[in-house]
């Protein structure tokens, strides 16, 4: 996410940090470099101009140059500016005080509407809001099927019937009122380009169900095109916000940084992968920190909490203290950490680790190899690694498709980390 931009800004500020006093000319230089970095990231030209102007003004006004740490002050001003650019506060979804809340997802072909309808439904389900998915993409039979498959996967019912989208949606709302569904998420058809028939159809659908949220789903990787699409949609059917998808593959960040400023509509969610859980509220402050390579500890903590329960954490701490951590525990830990997302992404959320994560090339294959090795051990071997003699090691290597050296290395590393943890445990 935002890797190219993050690297560029990181390099600019790194040079700045290594300087003591700054002159007016230094500041001008930095701002010029930031300007170029943003333009290269495909941020809207006017947005960049306004941004630089406001940062310059604040940098002068705040008497940055006289402060003890001028570099820090400038970085903070840039960070605050980025947060504002992305909308400041984290935007939320509006729900009806009673009865079902209709929500429409609209957008161009392939932007991620169907996937995000399911992701939202899962999110609402977890919040206890009883979601209903509605299939209003009636042009491709495969579209309805796709939504049904996703619905089954997340355990959310999908409403579909023959007819035109406005009638289908109206019938779905009746069903929702009768059955007590809370959130009615409507998936619509996409087109390659914005055209009149599509807009007419979406307008008719909106007139019928009066959605509380009309969210435009846009592919962030299309950069300024995403921003143009958002403007065009908003002019025809009033949007209440956007969902920026495929941020996981967006190394530049142009759409993320411009879409709010250009359209005036908040980004409400970020799509960060193909899985149904790969969605996050769009947090401007956290994203700004990530863009500046300052890490994103809050998201890391949330992801950790979503996979580790407090009970598990206590149990683990106890085991470490009693020095009876086994390879089985190790395997379980590894699996849970991997459920939080790719290891490289996790490291980047730790402040200062961004560079390391990029440079060290955190190897997913290595983690897979370790899992395979431990899985080839018997329960006793996992509990008491000291029984692992040469012939057992050979058998494990063969069973896991690895080399004996790999098995040896894993056991050695495990012993070392056990020693290390023992030392920490005494201080806990």
Ligand X SMILES: Nc1nc2c(ncn2[C@@H]2O[C@H](COP(=O)(O)OP(=O)(O)OP(=O)(O)O)[C@@H](O)[C@H]2O)c(=O)[nH]1
Nearer to Mg ion, 113 or 130 (CB): 113
Least distance CB 245 / ligand X (angstroms): 4
Count helices and strands in the chain by DSSP H and E runs? 20, 8
Least distance CB 61 / ligand X (angstroms): 39
Number of residues that bind Mg ion (CB under 5 A): 2
Least distance CB 7 / Mg ion (angstroms): 34
Nearer to Mg ion, 113 or 286 (CB): 113
245 binds Mg ion (CB under 5 A): no
Contact in structure between 172 and 132 (CB atoms under 8 Å)? yes
Least distance CB 272 / ligand X (angstroms): 6
- 113-142 residues in contact with Mg ion (CB under 5 A) are 113-114
Q: How many angstroms separate the Cα of 123 from the Cα of each of 107, 268, 338, 351?
A: 20, 13, 21, 28
Task: Decide which of ligand X, Mg ion, none touches 111; Cβ closer than 5 to 8 Å per partner kind.
Answer: ligand X
Least distance CB 169 / ligand X (angstroms): 16
CA–CA gap between residue 169 and residue 161 (Å, rounded): 10
Residue nearest Mg ion, Cβ-based: 114
Which residues contact ligand X (rule: CB under 6 A)? 107, 109-115, 137, 143, 190, 217, 245-246, 248-249, 271-274, 278
Task: Decide which of ligand X, Mg ion, none touches 165; Cβ closer than 5 to 8 Å per partner kind.
Answer: none
Nearer to Mg ion, 113 or 252 (CB): 113
The position carrying tokens 């230094």 is 26
- 98-117 residues in contact with Mg ion (CB under 5 A) are 113-114
Round the CA-based radius of gyration of the chain to a whole number and report it: 26
What is the helix (H) or strand (E) element at residue 131, kind and residue range? Answer: strand 131-136
Smallest CA-to-CA distance from 159 within 108, 107, 102 is with 102
Nearer to ligand X, 139 or 424 (CB): 139
Please return the burial class of 218, using the count of CB atoms within 10 Å of its CB with bins 0-12, 13-18 and 19+: buried
Nearer to Mg ion, 273 or 293 (CB): 273
The sign of the torsion formed by the CA atoms of 38, 40, 44, 50 equals: positive
Measured in whole angstroms, the distance separating CA 172 from the mean position of its chain's CA atoms is 30
Nearer to Mg ion, 229 or 262 (CB): 229
Least distance CB 251 / ligand X (angstroms): 13
Smallest CA-to-CA distance from 108 within 229, 222, 204 is with 229
Nearer to ligand X, 6 or 115 (CB): 115
Least distance CB 137 / Mg ion (angstroms): 5
Count the Cβ atoms, other than its own, within 10 Å of residue 231.
Answer: 15
Q: Residues in the site for Mg ion, rule: CB under 5 A?
A: 113-114
């Amino acid at each position: 996410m935002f890797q190219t931009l993050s690297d560029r800004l990181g390099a600019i500020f790194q040079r700045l940090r290594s300087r003591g006093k700054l002159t007016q000319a230094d500041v001008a230089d930095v701002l010029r470099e930031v300007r170029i970095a943003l333009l290269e990231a495909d941020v809207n030209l006017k947005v960049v101009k306004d941004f630089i102007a406001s940062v310059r003004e604040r940098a002068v006004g705040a008497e940055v140059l006289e402060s003890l740490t001028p570099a820090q002050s400038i970085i903070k001003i840039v960070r605050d500016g980025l947060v504002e650019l992305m909308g400041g506060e984290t935007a939320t979804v509006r729900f009806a005080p009673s009865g079902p809340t209709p929500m429409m997802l609209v957008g161009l072909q392939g932007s991620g509407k169907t996937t995000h309808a399911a992701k939202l439904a899962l999110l609402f389900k977890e919040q206890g809001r009883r979601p209903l998915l509605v299939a209003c993409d009636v042009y491709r039979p495969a579209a309805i099927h796709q939504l049904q498959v996703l619905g089954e996967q997340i355990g959310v019912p999908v409403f579909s019937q023959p007819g035109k989208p406005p009638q289908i949606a109206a019938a779905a709302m009746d069903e929702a009122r009768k059955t007590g569904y809370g959130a009615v998420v409507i998936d619509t058809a996409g087109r390659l380009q914005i055209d009149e028939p599509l807009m007419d159809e979406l307008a008719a659908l909106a007139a019928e169900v009066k959605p509380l949220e009309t969210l435009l789903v846009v592919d962030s990787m299309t950069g300024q095109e995403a921003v143009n699409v958002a403007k065009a949609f908003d002019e025809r059917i009033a949007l209440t916000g956007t969902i920026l998808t495929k941020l996981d593959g967006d190394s530049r960040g142009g759409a993320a940084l411009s879409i709010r400023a250009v359209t005036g509509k908040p980004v409400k969610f970020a799509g960060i992968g193909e899985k149904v859980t790969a969605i996050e509220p769009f947090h401007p402050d956290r994203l700004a920190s990530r863009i500046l390579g300052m890490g994103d500890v809050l998201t890391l903590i949330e992801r950790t909490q979503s996979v580790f329960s407090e009970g598990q954490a206590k149990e683990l701490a106890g085991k470490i203290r009693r020095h009876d951590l086994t390879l089985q525990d190790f395997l379980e830990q590894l699996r849970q950490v991997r459920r939080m997302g790719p290891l490289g992404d996790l490291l980047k959320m730790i402040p200062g680790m961004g560079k390391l994560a990029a440079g060290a090339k955190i190897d997913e294959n290595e983690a897979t190899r370790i899992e395979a090795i431990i899985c080839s051990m018997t329960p006793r071997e996992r509990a008491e690694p000291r029984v692992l003699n040469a012939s057992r090691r050979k058998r494990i290597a063969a069973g896991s498709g690895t080399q004996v050296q790999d098995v040896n290395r894993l056991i050695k590393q495990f012993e070392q980390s056990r020693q290390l943890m023992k030392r920490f445990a005494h201080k806990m």
